[in-house]
Amino acid sequence: MGRVRIIPVLLLNKGGLYKTIQFKKTTYIGDPINAVKIFNEKEADELILLDYTASIEKRGPDFKKIAEIAGEAFMPMAYGGAIRSLDDAKKVFDAGYEKIVLNSVLFEQISLIERVGSIYGSQAVVCAIDVKKNWLGKTKVFAYSGTSSSSYTPVEWAKRLEQAGAGEIFLNSIDRDGTWDGYDTDLIHSVAYVVQIPVVACGGAGSMDDFKAAVTAGASAVAAGSMFVYQKKGMGVLISFPSQNKILI
Protein backbone atom coordinates (compact mmCIF):
# COMPACT_ATOMS: atom_id res chain seq x y z
CA MET A 1 0.00 0.00 0.00
CA GLY A 2 1.18 3.49 -0.75
CA ARG A 3 -0.22 6.90 0.08
CA VAL A 4 -1.41 8.80 -2.98
CA ARG A 5 -0.68 12.50 -3.34
CA ILE A 6 -3.75 14.70 -3.81
CA ILE A 7 -2.78 18.00 -5.38
CA PRO A 8 -4.97 21.11 -5.72
CA VAL A 9 -4.34 23.09 -8.91
CA LEU A 10 -4.67 26.86 -8.75
CA LEU A 11 -4.95 28.90 -11.95
CA LEU A 12 -3.38 32.33 -11.78
CA ASN A 13 -4.17 35.23 -14.11
CA LYS A 14 -2.90 38.76 -13.49
CA GLY A 15 -2.72 38.20 -9.75
CA GLY A 16 -6.12 36.57 -9.27
CA LEU A 17 -7.33 32.99 -9.14
CA TYR A 18 -9.64 31.62 -11.82
CA LYS A 19 -11.24 28.33 -12.76
CA THR A 20 -11.83 27.18 -16.32
CA ILE A 21 -14.16 24.77 -18.08
CA GLN A 22 -12.43 22.99 -20.97
CA PHE A 23 -9.82 25.77 -20.88
CA LYS A 24 -12.41 28.30 -22.09
CA LYS A 25 -15.13 29.54 -19.77
CA THR A 26 -13.46 31.26 -16.83
CA THR A 27 -14.74 32.18 -13.39
CA TYR A 28 -12.97 34.40 -10.88
CA ILE A 29 -12.33 32.50 -7.64
CA GLY A 30 -10.51 34.95 -5.40
CA ASP A 31 -7.14 35.79 -3.92
CA PRO A 32 -4.32 33.21 -4.23
CA ILE A 33 -2.88 34.06 -0.82
CA ASN A 34 -6.15 33.21 0.91
CA ALA A 35 -6.39 29.97 -1.06
CA VAL A 36 -2.89 28.90 -0.05
CA LYS A 37 -3.64 29.62 3.62
CA ILE A 38 -6.74 27.42 3.44
CA PHE A 39 -4.82 24.56 1.86
CA ASN A 40 -2.17 24.94 4.57
CA GLU A 41 -4.86 24.28 7.15
CA LYS A 42 -6.23 21.35 5.16
CA GLU A 43 -2.73 19.83 4.91
CA ALA A 44 -2.64 19.48 1.15
CA ASP A 45 0.25 17.30 -0.03
CA GLU A 46 1.38 19.78 -2.68
CA LEU A 47 0.06 22.73 -4.65
CA ILE A 48 0.43 23.42 -8.36
CA LEU A 49 0.17 27.06 -9.40
CA LEU A 50 -0.26 27.69 -13.13
CA ASP A 51 -0.31 31.11 -14.79
CA TYR A 52 -2.44 29.77 -17.62
CA THR A 53 -2.51 32.92 -19.78
CA ALA A 54 1.13 33.97 -19.52
CA SER A 55 2.47 32.10 -22.55
CA ILE A 56 -0.44 32.89 -24.82
CA GLU A 57 -0.20 36.57 -23.86
CA LYS A 58 3.57 36.47 -24.45
CA ARG A 59 4.47 37.74 -21.00
CA GLY A 60 6.90 36.35 -18.48
CA PRO A 61 6.21 35.04 -14.98
CA ASP A 62 5.27 37.59 -12.34
CA PHE A 63 8.17 36.67 -10.08
CA LYS A 64 7.20 39.11 -7.36
CA LYS A 65 3.67 37.73 -7.12
CA ILE A 66 4.63 34.08 -7.20
CA ALA A 67 7.26 34.67 -4.51
CA GLU A 68 4.60 36.31 -2.36
CA ILE A 69 2.33 33.27 -2.83
CA ALA A 70 5.09 30.75 -2.09
CA GLY A 71 5.99 32.66 1.06
CA GLU A 72 2.62 31.69 2.55
CA ALA A 73 2.80 27.99 1.68
CA PHE A 74 3.65 25.29 4.21
CA MET A 75 3.63 22.53 1.58
CA PRO A 76 5.75 21.92 -1.54
CA MET A 77 4.71 24.00 -4.53
CA ALA A 78 5.19 23.77 -8.27
CA TYR A 79 4.87 26.71 -10.62
CA GLY A 80 4.22 26.78 -14.35
CA GLY A 81 3.60 29.56 -16.83
CA ALA A 82 5.92 31.25 -19.35
CA ILE A 83 9.12 29.67 -18.05
CA ARG A 84 11.29 29.91 -21.16
CA SER A 85 14.87 29.75 -19.97
CA LEU A 86 17.20 28.42 -17.32
CA ASP A 87 17.27 31.90 -15.80
CA ASP A 88 13.45 31.91 -15.53
CA ALA A 89 13.59 28.51 -13.83
CA LYS A 90 16.26 29.72 -11.40
CA LYS A 91 14.11 32.69 -10.40
CA VAL A 92 11.15 30.38 -9.75
CA PHE A 93 13.22 28.08 -7.55
CA ASP A 94 14.70 31.10 -5.77
CA ALA A 95 11.14 32.30 -5.13
CA GLY A 96 10.52 29.20 -3.02
CA TYR A 97 9.17 26.55 -5.40
CA GLU A 98 10.34 22.94 -5.31
CA LYS A 99 9.28 22.16 -8.89
CA ILE A 100 8.67 23.91 -12.17
CA VAL A 101 6.03 22.94 -14.74
CA LEU A 102 7.04 23.20 -18.39
CA ASN A 103 4.60 22.96 -21.27
CA SER A 104 4.44 25.04 -24.46
CA VAL A 105 8.14 25.93 -24.42
CA LEU A 106 9.03 22.26 -24.87
CA PHE A 107 7.80 22.24 -28.46
CA GLU A 108 10.50 24.80 -29.23
CA GLN A 109 13.32 23.84 -26.86
CA ILE A 110 12.88 20.44 -25.30
CA SER A 111 16.51 20.64 -24.18
CA LEU A 112 15.38 22.97 -21.39
CA ILE A 113 14.35 19.85 -19.44
CA GLU A 114 17.91 18.56 -19.33
CA ARG A 115 19.40 21.98 -18.64
CA VAL A 116 17.21 22.51 -15.60
CA GLY A 117 17.44 18.90 -14.45
CA SER A 118 21.23 18.91 -14.54
CA ILE A 119 21.25 21.64 -11.87
CA TYR A 120 18.12 21.02 -9.80
CA GLY A 121 17.52 17.33 -10.43
CA SER A 122 15.02 15.67 -12.73
CA GLN A 123 12.48 15.40 -9.89
CA ALA A 124 12.15 19.19 -10.02
CA VAL A 125 11.03 19.22 -13.66
CA VAL A 126 7.35 18.48 -14.28
CA CYS A 127 6.28 18.34 -17.91
CA ALA A 128 2.63 19.13 -18.61
CA ILE A 129 0.72 17.41 -21.40
CA ASP A 130 -2.59 19.06 -22.32
CA VAL A 131 -4.73 16.69 -24.36
CA LYS A 132 -7.96 16.99 -26.33
CA LYS A 133 -9.60 15.73 -29.47
CA ASN A 134 -9.01 17.87 -32.54
CA TRP A 135 -11.61 18.70 -35.19
CA LEU A 136 -10.98 15.32 -36.83
CA GLY A 137 -11.74 13.51 -33.57
CA LYS A 138 -8.13 12.46 -33.05
CA THR A 139 -6.58 12.80 -29.59
CA LYS A 140 -3.63 15.17 -29.78
CA VAL A 141 -1.35 17.16 -27.50
CA PHE A 142 -2.08 20.91 -27.45
CA ALA A 143 0.02 23.91 -26.46
CA TYR A 144 -0.65 27.52 -25.48
CA SER A 145 -3.65 26.87 -23.24
CA GLY A 146 -5.25 24.50 -25.70
CA THR A 147 -5.17 26.89 -28.64
CA SER A 148 -2.44 25.25 -30.72
CA SER A 149 -2.50 21.60 -31.78
CA SER A 150 0.65 19.56 -32.19
CA SER A 151 1.10 16.46 -34.31
CA TYR A 152 1.88 14.32 -31.27
CA THR A 153 -0.37 11.79 -29.60
CA PRO A 154 -0.18 11.76 -25.78
CA VAL A 155 1.78 8.50 -25.79
CA GLU A 156 4.32 9.77 -28.35
CA TRP A 157 4.89 13.03 -26.49
CA ALA A 158 5.11 11.35 -23.08
CA LYS A 159 7.81 9.00 -24.34
CA ARG A 160 9.76 11.88 -25.82
CA LEU A 161 9.54 13.95 -22.63
CA GLU A 162 10.75 11.02 -20.53
CA GLN A 163 13.68 10.49 -22.88
CA ALA A 164 14.51 14.19 -22.60
CA GLY A 165 14.80 13.88 -18.81
CA ALA A 166 11.38 14.79 -17.40
CA GLY A 167 10.94 13.82 -13.76
CA GLU A 168 7.15 13.77 -13.76
CA ILE A 169 4.26 14.16 -16.20
CA PHE A 170 1.24 16.33 -15.43
CA LEU A 171 -1.43 14.84 -17.71
CA ASN A 172 -4.43 17.09 -18.23
CA SER A 173 -7.57 16.33 -20.24
CA ILE A 174 -8.86 19.58 -21.73
CA ASP A 175 -12.17 17.92 -22.66
CA ARG A 176 -12.74 16.93 -19.02
CA ASP A 177 -11.46 20.17 -17.44
CA GLY A 178 -14.02 21.62 -15.04
CA THR A 179 -16.74 19.12 -16.00
CA TRP A 180 -16.88 16.92 -12.84
CA ASP A 181 -17.32 13.95 -15.21
CA GLY A 182 -14.36 11.97 -13.89
CA TYR A 183 -10.86 11.52 -15.23
CA ASP A 184 -10.19 10.13 -18.69
CA THR A 185 -8.96 6.80 -17.38
CA ASP A 186 -8.22 5.44 -20.86
CA LEU A 187 -5.89 8.40 -21.42
CA ILE A 188 -4.22 7.90 -18.05
CA HIS A 189 -3.71 4.19 -18.70
CA SER A 190 -2.27 4.75 -22.17
CA VAL A 191 0.38 7.17 -20.88
CA ALA A 192 1.17 5.69 -17.47
CA TYR A 193 2.01 2.29 -18.92
CA VAL A 194 4.55 3.52 -21.47
CA VAL A 195 6.66 5.65 -19.11
CA GLN A 196 8.56 4.87 -15.92
CA ILE A 197 8.20 8.32 -14.34
CA PRO A 198 5.22 9.40 -12.18
CA VAL A 199 2.06 10.56 -13.94
CA VAL A 200 -0.17 13.12 -12.21
CA ALA A 201 -3.74 12.91 -13.53
CA CYS A 202 -5.83 16.05 -13.94
CA GLY A 203 -9.09 17.05 -15.58
CA GLY A 204 -12.61 16.04 -14.50
CA ALA A 205 -12.34 14.99 -10.86
CA GLY A 206 -15.57 15.22 -8.90
CA SER A 207 -15.25 12.66 -6.11
CA MET A 208 -12.90 10.45 -4.13
CA ASP A 209 -14.02 7.56 -6.32
CA ASP A 210 -12.61 9.46 -9.31
CA PHE A 211 -9.27 9.70 -7.52
CA LYS A 212 -9.22 5.95 -6.94
CA ALA A 213 -10.19 5.25 -10.56
CA ALA A 214 -7.29 7.40 -11.78
CA VAL A 215 -4.81 5.56 -9.57
CA THR A 216 -6.19 2.20 -10.68
CA ALA A 217 -5.61 3.37 -14.27
CA GLY A 218 -1.96 4.02 -13.48
CA ALA A 219 -1.69 7.55 -12.07
CA SER A 220 0.89 8.07 -9.32
CA ALA A 221 -0.92 11.17 -8.03
CA VAL A 222 -4.17 13.01 -8.66
CA ALA A 223 -4.77 16.72 -9.17
CA ALA A 224 -7.98 18.73 -9.30
CA GLY A 225 -9.28 22.27 -9.45
CA SER A 226 -13.09 22.53 -9.45
CA MET A 227 -13.54 19.87 -6.80
CA PHE A 228 -11.55 21.98 -4.36
CA VAL A 229 -12.90 25.44 -5.14
CA TYR A 230 -16.62 24.90 -5.77
CA GLN A 231 -19.64 23.62 -3.95
CA LYS A 232 -21.08 21.19 -6.47
CA LYS A 233 -24.70 22.12 -5.93
CA GLY A 234 -25.21 25.59 -7.38
CA MET A 235 -21.48 25.86 -8.11
CA GLY A 236 -20.90 28.52 -5.47
CA VAL A 237 -17.31 29.33 -4.61
CA LEU A 238 -16.00 27.46 -1.57
CA ILE A 239 -12.38 26.43 -1.39
CA SER A 240 -12.31 23.05 0.33
CA PHE A 241 -10.40 19.80 0.59
CA PRO A 242 -11.65 16.25 1.24
CA SER A 243 -11.35 15.26 4.89
CA GLN A 244 -10.15 11.80 3.84
CA ASN A 245 -7.38 13.31 1.77
CA LYS A 246 -4.81 10.74 2.90
CA ILE A 247 -6.12 7.93 0.71
CA LEU A 248 -4.26 4.64 0.47
CA ILE A 249 -4.25 2.47 -2.62
Check: CB of residue 171 under 8 Å from CB of residue 201. Answer: yes
The span from the CA of 88 to the CA of 192, in Å, is 29
Our answer to whether residue 130 is catalytic in this structure is yes
Check: CB of residue 148 under 8 Å from CB of residue 105. Answer: no
What are the residues facing 10 on neighbouring strands?
A: 49
> DSSP letter string over 39-93?
HHHTT-S-EEEEETTTTTTT----HHHHHHHHTT-SS-EEEESS--SHHHHHHHH
Name the active-site residue from 51, 88, 130, 177.
130
SS3 state at 114:
helix
Q: Could you tell me whether strands 47-51 and 5-13 are parallel, antiparallel, or unpaired per DSSP bridges?
A: parallel
- Identify the H or E element spanning 112: helix 112-120
Report angle CA 152, 155, 158 to the nearest 5 degrees: 85
Catalytic machinery residues: 130
